Amino acid sequence: MFLRSLFLNKTLRTLFILERLSLNDRVCIKELARELNINIRNLQNDFKLLREYFLDKLIKSGDCYYLLNRELFIKLFKSDS
């Protein structure tokens, strides 16, 4: 129940999706909805927002998404320490 309430927050959910995209080859909406125990529609809206931001770098295939170039994406979030 705690996990579900945590991911009802759109910001935390979006950050979680970004983390998943950086770590995995693809992220599928139905699978993620089951895992997080949340509504598929919420995730569809989250991915719609992410696609508007990342444009052609976030590719949709069926109900799954993947990054065109994961290495470049990871560099966006990597600190230069």
Residue 80 has pLDDT above 70, yes or no: no
Query: pTM for the complete prediction?
Result: 0.77
**CB 63 within 8 Å of CB 28:** yes
Q: 23-44: buried (b, 16+ CB within 10 Å) or exposed (e) per residue?
A: eeeebbbeebbeebebeeebbe
Region 6-28: what's the mean pLDDT? 84
In a domain, 81, yes or no: no
Say if residue 70 is exposed, middle or buried (CB neighbours under 10 Å; 0-12, 13-18, 19+). middle
Chain segment 26-73, per-residue pLDDT in tens: 999 999 999 988 899 999 999 999 999 888 889 999 999 998 877 766
CATH of the domain at 51: 1.10.10.10
In a domain, 43, yes or no: yes
* Number of folded domains that form the chain: 1
Residue 37 DSSP class:
T
- What pLDDT is recorded for position 34? 93
Chain segment 18-29, per-residue pLDDT in tens: 889 888 889 999
